[in-house]
Amino acid sequence: MKPETATENSPEPRPAATLVLLRRTARCPLQALMVVRHTAVEFAGGAAVFPGGRVDASDHVGTEADDDAFRFAAIRETFEECGIVLAYDDTGGEMVSKARARALRQTYRLAVSTGELPFADMLRDERLRPATDLLIPFAHWITPPLRKKRYDTHFFIAPYDGDQEILHDDGEVTQAEWISPETLLSDAK
């Protein structure tokens, strides 16, 4: 099969970021956080995917390199879609706790998701810093040129040992769950 080639009508790929968040439990040696996109969403509607999305202009604020904006976007999207706050408390350096993540979701999630409040402003106001140091570059994919919507997506992988609850946004995402690779593959058959 020949690879698709770009034409003058090919849309420019939009910058995007995805986070493959992994954890270990006593019952399962490896689980990944997966979400199911709402069927009404134009791009990959109904698909099981990792949390992620477009890099917004506000993701570049305070970042030193493009890679930082991609990492920041992956963390923001995970908050918007799953409710997990992958950030450290500036005062003590600990990861955000379950109770604090719940309060942040209730106070800020809708405003951040709609773009009313930049994620960076929430972090600043709450004296948090994103845990970008945990994100390891994993893959880089660009949607083929003949597609209507194209993305230049940077994938990151990160360990997660926190106890925050996952709570899908019930808008763009209709389900979020920790799932083992074996279960995911057997369900795909």
pLDDT for 20-56, tens place per residue? Answer: 999 998 888 899 988 776 555 555 555 677 888 899 9
Q: What residues contact residue 142 under an 8 Å CB cut-off, 6+ apart?
A: 13, 150, 151, 152, 153
pLDDT at 20: 95
The letter for the amino acid at 182 is E
pLDDT at 189: 61
H or E segment at 174?
strand 173-179
Q: Are 57 and 100 in contact (CB under 8 A)?
A: no
Is residue 87 helix, strand or coil?
strand
pLDDT at 126: 96
H or E segment at 158?
strand 151-159
Main-chain dihedrals φ then ψ at residue 91, nearest 5 degrees: -75, -40
CB-based burial, 12-28: b 16+ in 10 Å, e otherwise: ebebbbbbbbbeeeeee
pLDDT at 146: 82
Main-chain dihedrals φ then ψ at residue 188, nearest 5 degrees: -80, -15
Q: Are 104 and 85 in contact (CB under 8 A)?
A: yes
Those residues of the chain that have pLDDT short of 50 are none
For the whole prediction, is pTM greater than 0.85? yes
DSSP code, position 157: E
Closest to 34 measured CA to CA, from 177, 189, 184, 183? 177
